[in-house]
Amino acid sequence: MPLQNRVDPSGQIERNAARGLFMGNRGGALHDANQTIVRTRRTRTWIICLTEFKNRRRKLMQPGKYTELFFLDEAVALSAGHRPCFECRRQDALAFGAALARARCMSRLSAPQIDDLLEADRMIPADHPSRQISMNRIGSLPDGAFVSDDEHYFVVCSGKLLRWSFSGYEPVDAPARMKKHVLLLTTPNASLQALSHGYRPVFHPSATGTIAGHI
- Mean local confidence (pLDDT), 132-143: 91
pLDDT at 129: 93
Q: Is the pLDDT of residue 124 over 90?
A: yes
CB 70 within 8 A of CB 19: yes
Provide the pLDDT confidence category of residue 209 given band limits of 50, 70 and 90: low
Angle in degrees, CA 32, 36, 39, rounded to 5:
70
Which has the higher per-residue pLDDT, 180 or 201? 201
Look up residue 153 and give its amino acid: Y
Alpha-carbon Rg for the chain, nearest whole angstrom, is 17
Task: Give the start-to-end residue ranges of the domains of the chain.
Answer: 4-89, 129-189
Whether the CB-CB separation of 155 and 172 falls below 8 Å is answered with no
pLDDT value of position 178: 60
pLDDT at 30 over 90: yes
**0.85 exceeded by pTM:** yes
Question: Measuring CA to CA, how many Å separate 104 from each of 42, 132, 143, 215?
Answer: 28, 22, 19, 22
